[in-house]
Structure 1
Amino acid sequence: MKLLRILSGILIAAIVFLPAGCSKEEPAAKLAEIKIVGTIGPMVIPLARMAETNALDSVAEKTSLTLWANPAQLQATIAGSQGDFVSLPVNSAATFYNKGIQLKLLDCSIWNILYLLSTDPDITSMEDLRGKRVVVPFQGTSPDVVFRFNLEQSGVDPETDVDIFYAPDPVQATQLFLSGQDDYVLLSEPSATTVMKKAAASGKTVYRNLNMNEVWKEVTGGASQIAQAGTIALGAVSENTAVMDAFLEEYEKAVQWMLDNPEEAGEVGARALVEQGFTADVLAESMAYIDWRFTPADEAYDDIAGFLTALMEASPDFTGGKMPDNAFYYGK
């Protein structure tokens, strides 16, 4: 019996003093690949930085980047779950969510990117656009929605007071403007900066007349601002807290790196957008005209909800027929 008690004591001691690592759970296996889908524009820069540096190597073996170029491609990407993280307009994210797509809004990081450019120095308000023809790319998308809202809230009927000509994409909108066929155009960055630089090179004077976010804040009395664009987690990844947290941490770092290193960031963007012809100098210069503010979705809730509510009042179609519930916002 005495021997048995001694042996039992030794066994218990051995168990108590096992190395701590032996009692820990095995870490979650890495994903084989995380697919990031960016849009053609400045939002691709921090995403491209993450892909180039394999910033998500703590949760995935590989990070890849592809682009969507138009609303049809975005629709196909979302409906087919062709990516894990997708950058897109915030109201588009709400629309997809309200249609039953499994996703989480992670952040809003772009708060202004949209400008009215013209050859007319006297355009200082939306009211000054009465009787004008304005070229707008991508009918029914976020820039169109914001522009029409600002017109309506300024007492200008977009159906009767302004002749809106819808170009199929920003490239054709730019061509119409630079050729002199049209004198007023609504453009996002970096297309707006591209136009300004090309016009200056040809001796043409172009004015950056109206900042759409400033107009928005004015017509809403400061009640909200344009929650322009952010990132969603799509499909199964939207249930993986560890991966979403890793993405947010690295994305915030990439945005800050971009702001601290605009010239290098321009080069990263130019590599990602080589087929679209955006140059590093244009991308770097355009950053001065973009209101970049990385804000997690739960922290941006009031501004996003205010933005979506304003759009809902203009037309429920702009948010998929209703306001998204709190489950739309990661962390809420």
Structure 2
Amino acid sequence: MRALAIGTGLVADRVFADPEQHHPVAYFGTWATVTERLLYRDSTAAGVTHLLVTVAPVALAAQWLHSKAPTLTTAATLWIALGGSSLTRVGEQVATELSAGHIERARTWVPWLCSRDPQQLDDAGIARAATESIAENTSDAAIAPLFWAAVGGAPTVVVHRCVNTLDAMVGYRNERYNNFGWAAANLDDLLAYVPARLTAGIHTLCAAISGRGSEAVRAWKEDASAHPSPNAGPVEATAAAALGVQLGGPTIYPHGTEQRPRLSRGPKPTADTVRAAVRLARRTQLIAGVLAVLFSAQRG
């Protein structure tokens, strides 16, 4: 029945767009903001408390609903958690605007993908930001929910989605959140560890099919470890190899510029690279979805 639930959630993500209003993740974000105002202190202990107070009630509610209707709740929570279709639609929009030379329009889509400052990006910078974000978010917003649905159904899907959302809100290495966001950031890294390597493995398989498998393996082994994120590194390095481009370099955020390591070898990304990244994301999601269904069916 879990295999059926995962299949249903995948189909729902393809057929039905994310609700523009009353999205459960948005409600969770509001809840997290309220608890942050009440609990914020510049300490890791306060951050741990915030994490528990914010996530635990939602996780317990998911566990209770799952005990009553496991198939329905797993399908519903997976649909809510999956962001793969929305991600690829935004990627297509970026590629279309870049190809048409509409840089300003392309910039408006950048915040949908990442937190970089779009006004500081030229067409090459937008293409690189989109390519890197599509690769990383494929792991976070598609492969990780599928993995956790196969492992534990609705409760684990909800825990991962909540922690991942919380990390996006407070998991920054800056003056305000370096201590307070430590718990959310590290737990998110832990929950994403296996899904990220599953994503990188699928990227490597796709690279091998196109004759770039050895470069994907090399980039994973030699380049990924220099990335500040233990999970984004393997995902982006193998995606770069599969796409035949080089990622990394100066990365402009509202708070300043960070120097990211060079990942793989090749030319800079272009609008065509963004389209190829969308295709790679779809193939990766399809393969991971099949694996999740087969794994759940085998367990059943």
TM-score normalised over the length of structure 1: 0.25
Between Structure 1 and Structure 2, the one with more helix by share is: 2
Between Structure 1 and Structure 2, the one with more strand by share is: 1
